[in-house]
Structure 1
Amino acid sequence: MPVKVPSSLPARGILEAENVFLMEEPRALHQDIRPLRIAILNLMPTKIATETQLLRLLGNTPLQVEVTLLHMASHEARNTPAEHLLEHYASFAEVRHQAFDGLIITGAPVEQLPFEAVDYWPELTELLDWAGTNVFSSLFICWGAQAALYRYYGIPKHPLPEKKFGVFPHRLKVRHERIVQGFDDVFFAPHSRHTETRREDILAEPRLTLLAESDEAGVYIVQSTDRRQVFVTGHSEYDSGTLQGEYARDLRRGLPIGLPRNYFPDDDPAREPLVRWRGHANLLFSNWLNHCVYQEAPYDLGTLPAKGGQA
């Protein structure tokens, strides 16, 4: 939340140079407050687990959030009961006439397919284009980030020689953007993917800024220069046992999979995983919700300006 300070306070200049969010009393007195409307397009097969992870993080702030869960009508979910989708989810067609303060698009287990080969790609591209005018701020996760970077900026994904799997240290490239406010010099986040977004592709696009990366896991956080699109290539929302479950699943299926890196103490899968990303996850989501959505979105969503890029 912002700090309200007098304009004459000496600390104000220092904090503003660090991009700490300050608010003058006149603005504080005239703020209109209402629940934030957040849409979540949940593309993960384990929909109930994913929605729980995301709602836990969104609920860890003092802001009031009204969530609309979305699914792709052009895709038949095999791992979630139809009754759950009918009761709790809406299709894109049902909300396309509405406007939202924020949108989250999750990862999906389709990264080894070309984007155009994904069965719901036409519907997803419609939604991404709609978000440019009907959503104030968007947060894209893992494959969702790759899909949005491709649709908006023409940035491709590239196959990796082996799955990027584990918990990796990351460093900030830009310190004073509000989405990374309060991050440690080195922070951890889980990754679980077969493809990557390359830093040279991000650096070559003037409408994007690389905010954080890892020597081992590569590009991590990218932001559009208008600060209304945030792309996260990992899974900070994961629970303590999510990578453990994916590891056991791949072993059962006979897939080539190594131990998740930096996850089990002494690389012993019989021991409880070590969680080193929970603080970062909460900070990432609270920064997005506060700085990118609550403090910036207009009170009247009917006045949303267009955002983002289009390849």
Structure 2
Amino acid sequence: MPVNLPDNLPAIEILRKEHIFVMSDLRASTQDIRPLRILILNLMPLKITTETDLVRLLSNSPLQIEIEFLGLKSHTPKNTPIEHLKTFYKTFEEVEECFYDGFIVTGAPVELLPFEEVRYWKELTGIFDWARKHVTSTFYICWAGQAAMHHFYGIQKYPLEKKMFGVFSHTVNDKSFPLFRGFDDQFYAPHSRHTTVSAEEISRQPELTILSQSEEAGVYIVASRGGREFYVTGHSEYSPLTLHNEYLRDKQKGLESVELPKNYYQDNDPEKEPVVRWRSHANLLFINWLNYFVYQETPFELEKISELGELS
């Protein structure tokens, strides 16, 4: 099934060139089926790139999906045209009374700040609280995962001596957990962050379950409320060249601590193409989330989401 996107979203033409089926609002309205409603709060600076990366993964599901984008009132991005934001992004006031099958919150380049010093922290945590009553399952990525665990459970983040940067091997703690159906015993995912969370601290919280870890990158995926919330510390949604572009960006800034992303370039040579090790598991991760924790759990009447408890 295709992804239903707002007319003229830049991601549409990019994805069509990749032979990914997307449809306009007009065509979708003629299909006699209730699509899954997915809301994306995009906190990344390069919003069009992130939109495309996420839609690419969501499009691989056999389910029809209707995507909306959410922006913050208390933060105006500098790297995305204001016309794009006005055309494709809704304010919280516009969605506050709505219900969604799924919600994705991206990372943000503010991880070195204390949470409470982030300019939009109050608005963001208000949205986190809203999601618990208006969304079947929420998928928090990177800094958003750290922020949500801190807000709900008091989990702290800790600065790393050097940036966790590259593609790392991970294992699954419970192979029967539906989110990892079809996964190999070892799988790869990109990371790009300056902070980490403590597995020991998370384990002391009875409502949190560490589902996947990496010897080198640490905690990867944490769940709460039976799968109504997932906290993912890495970037499985990254496209093949995202880490390369970040590496070049940091070098151009003259940062002395910039290192090559690990396990990424052929022969560890930045002049050669990256080796993409994470694409299949990234697709499985999002497909399984949509299937087992959104589609199979969400009520047909979205308003009844507020009546859901923990997922079984």
TM-score by length of 1: 0.87
Indicate the residue corresponding to 2:303 in structure 1.
302
Deviation, 1:198, is 1.1
Deviation digits for residues 3-38 of structure 1, max 9, x if unmatched? xxxxxxxxxxxxxxxxxxxxxxxxxxxxx9620010
- 1:94 aligned partner: 94
Q: Map 1:184-195 onto structure 2 (within 5 A).
A: 184-195=184-195
Q: How far apart, CA to CA, are the structure 2 residues paired with 1:238 and 1:155?
A: 25
Report what 1:277 is aligned to: 278
8 A contact 1:190–1:238 mirrored in 2: yes
Deviation at 1:181, TM superposition (A): 1.1
Residue identity opposite 1:203 in structure 2: S
Q: CA deviation at 1:77?
A: 0.5
Match runs of 1:13-162 below 5 Å: 34-162=34-162
Pairwise CA distance, 1:307: 5.4
Aligned partners of 1:132 and 1:306 also within 8 Å: no
SS at match of 1:226: helix
Shift of residue 225 of structure 1?
A: 4.2
What's the secondary structure of 1:113's corresponding residue? coil
Residues 44/307 of structure 1: CA separation in 2 closer, same or farther (3 Å cut): farther
Structure exhibiting the larger radius of gyration computed from Cα positions: 1
Match of 1:287 in 2: 288
1:71–1:90 contact (8 Å) kept in structure 2: yes
> What is the SS of the residue equivalent to 1:222?
strand
Distance 1:200 1:94 in 2: 40
Counterpart amino acid of residue 173 in structure 1: N
- Tell me the CA shift for residue 274 of structure 1: 0.5
- Report the counterpart of residue 237 of structure 1 in structure 2: 237
- The alignment covers a number of residue pairs equal to 278
Q: Distance in 2 between matches of 1:88 and 1:302?
A: 24
| Aligned-partner residue type, residue 130 of structure 2 | W
Instruction: Say whether the 8 Å CA contact 1:133–1:307 is kept in structure 2.
Output: no
| Matches of 1:175 and 1:244, distance apart in 2 | 32
User: Using the alignment, how far apart are the partners of 1:181 and 1:104 within structure 2?
Assistant: 20
Q: What is the CA–CA distance in structure 2 between the aligned matches of 1:137 and 1:33, rounded to whole Å?
A: 21
How far does the alpha carbon of each residue in 1:191-227 deviate from its partner, in whole angstroms, 9 at most, with x for none? Answer: 0000001111111111111110000000001111422
Q: How many angstroms does 1:306 deviate by?
A: 5.3
Q: Which residue of the partner structure matches residue 16 of structure 1?
A: none
- The structure-2 alpha-carbon separation of the partners of 1:73 and 1:307, relative to structure 1 and needing over 3 Å to count, comes to farther
- After the TM superposition, which of the residue ranges 272-281 and 196-205 deviates more from structure 2? 196-205
* Residue aligning to 1:6: none
**Distance in 1, Cα, partners of 2:105 & 2:83:** 22
Q: What residue in structure 1 maps to residue 204 of structure 2?
A: 204
> Equivalent residue for 2:171?
171
Secondary structure of the 1:223 match is strand
Matched to 2:267, the amino acid is D
Which one-letter code corresponds to 2:53 in the other structure? Answer: Q
* Amino acid aligned to 1:142: C
> Aligned partners of 2:66 and 2:205: how far apart in 1?
34
Considering only aligned residues, what root-mean-square deviation do their CA atoms show, in Å? 1.4
Q: Gaps (5+ residues) in structure 2?
A: 1-31
- Separation (CA, whole Å) in 2 of partners of 1:279 and 1:243: 17
Q: Offset at 1:57?
A: 0.5
